Structure 1
Amino acid sequence: MHDLMRTTITSMEAAEWCGKEHSKLLRDIRNYISQLGEAKIGFSDFFNESTYVTEQNKTLPCFLVTKKGCEFIAHKMTGQRGTEFTARYINRFHEMENPKKQIPPTEHPGEVANLLKVLSNRMDKQGIAPYKSAEMVKMVCEQYGIQLPADFVKVPKYEQMSIVKFLEGSGKA
């Protein structure tokens, strides 16, 4: 069930995207399920019955809508609303399918610190500019969920000028 939650949206969200009342989308989904049943086509690849709890602590019906279910709904829609719904579900499922690669926050920050020290020493021995080491430290910290100040990496002015001059020389500035 947990995997299903990560690869579906709720019918409430779909109804909002469709510009429909949730009760009307529930009615439509139930009709789709009935028609699929008559054709002896399973509906669980598209829609899965579920419930949600309101702010008033009432349990109400809803559906978990898969990517295929969103495609099914989108094919029933036309015009501006159909276009908006399709764009929203495509964007949402791409986000779910391609999450940002992030290592879970560590319980052992000392290990991260040791890793950073080793990497920084190696970069120093190779003659790499100190701000490049700072960029590497920031990148590793972000992967481990460690927040650093936005101005942690400061590029020297001479480096900034050379980039600007390069861009001016290439006609891209």
Structure 2
Amino acid sequence: MNDLTRTTITSIEAAEWCGKKHNDLLKDIRRYVGQLAEGKISHGDFFKETTYQDVNNQTRPCFLVTKKGCEFIAHKMTGQKGTEFTARYINRFHEMESGKLPCPLNPQIASSVAELGRVTERIMRKQGSPAYKIAEAFKLECEQFGIQLPADFVKVPDYEQLSLTELLR
């Protein structure tokens, strides 16, 4: 499984890229797995069922999606969303293959990072920190564990992006 997690994304991330609810993508993937089984084609090259811990520490289902799995999903999509999904998965897998993107963490470490993020959020909210500052702190915490979040993870409000020269005009 270690090799598999180094060459996969989660169905959670794939659902976000597809613009779908995670549960809807899970249904789609389960349908694909069933159809592959009917054709006597192994689904292991595409999808591997696993679980994750949600914010309430409950175990939830998800899939690890390989590059082939992403191609499979992309071939089922059309239009703008299909184009965007394809571009995102191609970029992500090229980053993983070139070593520019750290490999996903094992579930225990990922759970610890998530808990650290929850604690940080709770403390910062009590101190009145805005959402984008909490996101910046979480991004820094992730980077300390070798987790690279997307460049647009932190969305600074427009009013915070004004420069001093713009204010003096």
Q: Which residue of 1 aligns with 2:84?
A: 84
Residue 49 of structure 1: how far off its partner (Å): 0.4
* Bigger-Rg structure (1/2): 1
Residue 4 of structure 1: how far off its partner (Å): 1.0
Q: Which residue of 1 aligns with 2:49?
A: 49
Q: Quote the Cα distance in structure 1 between the aligned partners of 2:34 and 2:55.
A: 31
Q: Quote the Cα distance in structure 2 between the aligned partners of 1:75 and 1:98.
A: 24
Amino acid at match of 1:50: T
Alignment of 1:125-136 (within 5 A): none
Q: Which residue of 1 aligns with 2:165?
A: none
Q: Quote the Cα distance in structure 1 between the aligned partners of 2:40 and 2:54.
A: 34
Q: Quote the Cα distance in structure 2 between the aligned partners of 1:31 and 1:38.
A: 11
Q: Which runs of 5+ in 2 are unaligned?
A: 101-169
Moved over 2 A (4+): none
Residue 99 of structure 1: how far off its partner (Å): 1.1
Amino acid at match of 2:88: R
TM-score (norm 2): 0.58
Q: Quote the Cα distance in structure 1 between the aligned partners of 2:6 and 2:59.
A: 21
Q: Which runs of 5+ in 1 are unaligned?
A: 101-173
The number of aligned residues is 100
Is the aligned partner of 1:22 residue 2:22? Answer: yes
Residue 6 of structure 1: how far off its partner (Å): 1.1
TM-score (norm 1): 0.57
Amino acid at match of 1:57: N
C-alpha RMSD of matched pairs (Å): 0.6
Amino acid at match of 1:81: K
Q: Which residue of 1 aligns with 2:95?
A: 95
